[in-house]
């Protein structure tokens, strides 16, 4: 109350040596490592608890080649915060009822020390506790329910952050680990949300199942877990795939699609998820029972295109999804592990340059460390860069696709030699890394494989997934009444209509979602307009890209609260 804001002079503001925004894996790693260096660190997280805003598939990898893994920083992580380790890994190539299954364990185990399934509410809230303990020792701590809404600048230079719930805070070092829709990365002009082809959209259902039943139906023992991936024609022409991972006593089942493809196909994300859930192949695991605990969604950056090569501005660095550091290695998704690595490196970079008068010293060092540790090389594979820059990429793809679609091509895939070669190719990190982002990789090839080599699935899948309305109804919201966090800038259908389909909690002809289209008659002419109600919003970020909006996160503790994630 006594704090007075004097014009421009921010001497009165609180000061912390480091401020970390976001307490996901990236923020947690950065903060823990900063505290280990004895640096006073304040962590600001907008959720009621860390994890309450987060979604992942999610398999967290500990790569042999990574400079930091999550259990390096948090030794009890696997016992305390993770679900089951993945001991079995399969991909199913689907063509209608024809399915060819490949064992992908080799690919999965390439460069992998261990890999566990996680649920983000459990995982992140556990991390939050550890991070709070660590950072408290050096004079900081974790505060939840605080949304950072911008950067504090002095003479144009970044010197701190501004928040909804707190007075501005000055900091010598700012780590933006605020995830895929990073408001800080945008405020610093480092990232934008412009092109749908730079992003994926992930949608997920957490399904209740007793541990014993899981062991039984997936033929595993306690302490074992499986991962199943799905590709082929079950999503029609939308480019992407599905996954199923076993947790302690739940299943994580979801889909990840290229956002541009979702938009182009006018596909409804929840229907694509349902296409997976109701496929005959899944009947073997459900046995007619289906109890969905939570429906969730979030954008995923495609590091090949958006991982920032120099993720810093002044004393601000970007870590994890905020810097686009989410690697889709073919069907394997690696975001959390890279966020951990980047967070820890960002902390080390600051410790090494502490006291340097140049505010960008740490950012430059961090960039070098990302390169030298090989992290940037994984995020932006050179092979991909080379092919895509010459524009050859598309050509190659088109050619391959043409061949595959031709009678000759399909015969080739159906060839007995191909039957032996294809599983090998799928398990090659090199080849999988080369898979172009076209329907060739996602649909044509897998469905051909399914068709040529597949066995017919005879099970009947009789489960009925909940409707969108029921899914929304089951979520917990703390609505910020009268204070919508997303504003529609252009309500014409041309500008914002894509959100009616692509928003995971909206659908055409569904009045209870966020986006609705309606035809309005004005002076004899008809116009199709879009309207927005943010109440059911799950804060996935899709409409920041596909519609013309002014997009922000809700205030601290407001909005959706995931219990599983």
Partner 1 sequence: MRSIVLTKGVPDFSEGAVSFDEDGHLERGKTPTVMNPNDHFALRAALQTRVRHGGHVSGMSMGPPSYSSVLEEAMGEIYSDDSYLLSDRELAASDTWATAITLSAAIEKYQEEVTDVDLVFAGFKTADGETGHTGPQTAWCLEWPIVTHVIALDIDPDERVLRAKRLVEGDVDEIETVEAPLPCFVVTDPEFEPTYRKAAHRLEHKRLRAATEERVEDFDDHLTTWDHEDLRLDSEYIGLDGSPTIVSSVDPIPKAPSEREATMIDPGDSGGMEQVLEELQPYAGGD
Ligand X SMILES: Cc1cc2nc3c(=O)[nH]c(=O)nc-3n(C[C@H](O)[C@H](O)[C@H](O)COP(=O)(O)OP(=O)(O)OC[C@H]3O[C@@H](n4cnc5c(N)ncnc54)[C@H](O)[C@@H]3O)c2cc1C
Residues that bind ligand X (CB under 6 A): 21-27, 44-47, 50, 53-60, 147-148, 177-180, 183, 202, 204, 254, 256, 298, 300, 320-322, 326, 333-337, 339, 553
Please give the distance of CA 495 from its chain centroid, rounded to a whole number.
25
Q: Does 208 bind partner 1 (CB under 8 A)?
A: no
**Which of 532, 528, 508 is CA-nearest to residue 520?**
528
Q: Residue ranges of the alpha helices (H) in 294-444?
A: 303-306, 336-353, 361-372, 375-379, 382-389, 392-405, 407-414, 416-426, 429-434, 439
**506-545 per-residue burial string, b: 16 or more CB within 10 A, e: under 16:** bbeebebbbbbbeeeeeeeeeeebbebebbbbbbbbbbbb
> CA 177, CA 323: separation in Å to the nearest integer?
8
Q: Does 148 bind partner 1 (CB under 8 A)?
A: no
Please tell me whether residue 181 adopts helix, strand or coil conformation: coil
> CA 460, CA 279: separation in Å to the nearest integer?
8
| Least Cβ distance, residue 91 to partner 1 (angstroms) | 46
**51-78 per-residue burial string, b: 16 or more CB within 10 A, e: under 16:** bbbbbbbbbbbbbeebbbbbbbbbeebb
Q: For the window 152-191, what string marks contact with partner 1 as x by the rule CB under 8 A?
A: -------------xxx-x----------------------
Looking at beta carbons only, is 328 or 448 nearer to ligand X? 328
Q: Tokens representing 146?
A: 């605080």
- Is residue 134 within 8 Å of 36, Cβ to Cβ? yes
Q: For the window 107-146, what string marks contact with partner 1 as x by the rule CB under 8 A?
A: -------------------------x---x---xx-x--x
Q: Provide the 10 A C-beta neighbour count for residue 438.
A: 19
Q: Does 192 bind partner 1 (CB under 8 A)?
A: no
- Contacted entry of partner 1, ligand X, ligand SF4, none for residue 539, CB cut-off 5 to 8 Å set by kind: ligand SF4
- Contacted entry of partner 1, ligand X, ligand SF4, none for residue 330, CB cut-off 5 to 8 Å set by kind: none
Q: Does 537 bind ligand SF4 (CB under 6 A)?
A: yes
Helix (H) or strand (E) holding 117: strand 112-117
Looking at beta carbons only, is 202 or 436 nearer to ligand X? 202
How big is the chain by its Cα radius of gyration, in Å? Answer: 23
Q: Does 44 bind partner 1 (CB under 8 A)?
A: yes
- Is residue 199 within 8 Å of 546, Cβ to Cβ? no
Q: Tokens representing 329?
A: 């290695």
Looking at the DSSP assignment, which residues form a beta bridge with residue 169?
14, 161
- Contacted entry of ligand SF4, partner 1, ligand X, none for residue 505, CB cut-off 5 to 8 Å set by kind: ligand SF4
Looking at beta carbons only, is 60 or 530 nearer to ligand SF4? 530
| Least Cβ distance, residue 516 to ligand SF4 (angstroms) | 11
| Least Cβ distance, residue 34 to partner 1 (angstroms) | 15
Q: Does 163 bind ligand SF4 (CB under 6 A)?
A: no
- Is residue 447 within 8 Å of 233, Cβ to Cβ? yes
Q: Does 505 bind ligand SF4 (CB under 6 A)?
A: yes
Looking at the DSSP assignment, which residues form a beta bridge with residue 455?
99
> CA 55, CA 204: separation in Å to the nearest integer?
8
| Binding footprint of ligand SF4, residue count (CB under 6 A) | 14
- Is residue 488 within 8 Å of 497, Cβ to Cβ? no
Q: Tokens representing 103?
A: 């064992």
| Least Cβ distance, residue 294 to ligand X (angstroms) | 12
| Least Cβ distance, residue 537 to ligand SF4 (angstroms) | 3
Q: For the window 4-23, what string marks contact with partner 1 as x by the rule CB under 8 A?
A: ----------x-x-------
- Contacted entry of ligand SF4, partner 1, ligand X, none for residue 537, CB cut-off 5 to 8 Å set by kind: ligand SF4
Binding site for ligand SF4 (CB under 6 A): 486, 499, 503-506, 514, 537-543
Binding site for partner 1 (CB under 8 A): 1-3, 14, 16, 42, 44, 132, 136, 140-141, 143, 146, 165-167, 169
């Amino acid at each position: 109350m006594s704090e007075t804001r004097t014009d421009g002079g921010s001497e009165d503001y609180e000061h912390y040596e480091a401020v970390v925004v976001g307490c996901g894996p990236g923020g947690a790693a950065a903060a823990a490592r900063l505290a280990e260096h004895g640096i006073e660190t304040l962590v600001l997280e907008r959720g009621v608890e860390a994890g309450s805003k987060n979604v992942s598939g999610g398999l967290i990898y500990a790569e042999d080649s990574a400079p930091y893994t999550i259990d390096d920083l948090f030794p009890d992580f696997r016992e305390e915060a993770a679900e089951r380790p993945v001991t079995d890994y399969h991909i199913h190539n689907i063509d209608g009822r024809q399915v060819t299954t490949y064992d992908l364990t080799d690919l999965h185990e390439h460069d992998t020390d261990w890999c566990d399934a996680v649920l983000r509410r459990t995982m992140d809230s556990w991390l939050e506790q550890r991070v709070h303990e660590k950072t408290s020792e050096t004079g900081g701590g974790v505060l939840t329910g605080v949304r950072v809404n911008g950067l504090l600048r002095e003479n144009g230079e970044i010197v701190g952050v501004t928040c909804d719930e707190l007075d501005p805070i000055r900091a010598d070092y700012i780590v933006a680990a605020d995830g895929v829709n990073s408001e800080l990365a945008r405020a610093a002009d480092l990232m934008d949300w412009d092109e749908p082809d730079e992003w994926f959209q992930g949608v997920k259902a957490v399904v209740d199942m007793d541990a014993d039943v899981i062991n039984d139906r997936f033929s595993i023992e306690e302490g074992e877990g499986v991962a199943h991936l799905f590709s082929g024609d079950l999503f029609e022409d939308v480019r992407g795939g599905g996954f199923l991972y076993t947790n302690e006593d739940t299943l994580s089942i979801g889909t990840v699609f290229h956002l541009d493809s979702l938009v182009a196909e006018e596909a409804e994300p929840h229907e694509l998820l349902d296409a997976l859930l109701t496929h005959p192949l899944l009947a073997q695991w459900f046995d007619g029972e289906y109890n969905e605990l939570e429906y969730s969604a979030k954008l995923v950056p495609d590091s090949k295109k958006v991982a920032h090569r120099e993720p810093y501005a002044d004393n601000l660095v970007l870590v994890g999804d905020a810097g686009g550091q989410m690697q889709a290695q073919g069907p394997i998704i690696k975001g959390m592990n890279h966020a951990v690595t980047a967070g820890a490196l960002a902390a080390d970079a600051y410790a090494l340059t502490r006291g340097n008068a140049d505010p960008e010293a740490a950012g430059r060092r961090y960039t070098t460390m990302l390169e030298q540790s090989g992290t940037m090389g994984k995020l932006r594979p050179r092979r991909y860069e080379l092919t895509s820059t010459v524009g050859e990429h598309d050509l190659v793809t088109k050619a391959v696709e043409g061949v595959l679609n031709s009678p000759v091509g399909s015969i080739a895939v159906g060839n007995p030699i191909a039957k032996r070669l294809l599983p090998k190719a799928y398990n090659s990190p090199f080849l999988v890394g080369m898979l172009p982002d076209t329907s060739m990789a996602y649909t044509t090839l897998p469905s051909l494989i399914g068709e040529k080599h597949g066995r017919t699935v005879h099970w009947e899948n009789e489960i009925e997934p909940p409707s969108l309305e029921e899914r929304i109804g089951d979520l917990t919201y703390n609505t910020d009444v009268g204070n919508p966090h997303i504003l529609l800038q252009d309500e014409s259908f041309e500008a914002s209509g894509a959100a009616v389909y692509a928003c995971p909690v909206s659908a055409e002809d569904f009045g209870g979602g966020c986006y609705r289209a309606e035809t309005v008659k004005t002076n004899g002419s008809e116009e199709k307009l879009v309207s927005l109600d943010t109440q059911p919003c799950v804060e996935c970020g899709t409409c920041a890209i596909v519609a013309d909006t002014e997009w922000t996160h809700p205030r601290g503790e407001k909005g959706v609260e995931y219990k599983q994630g």
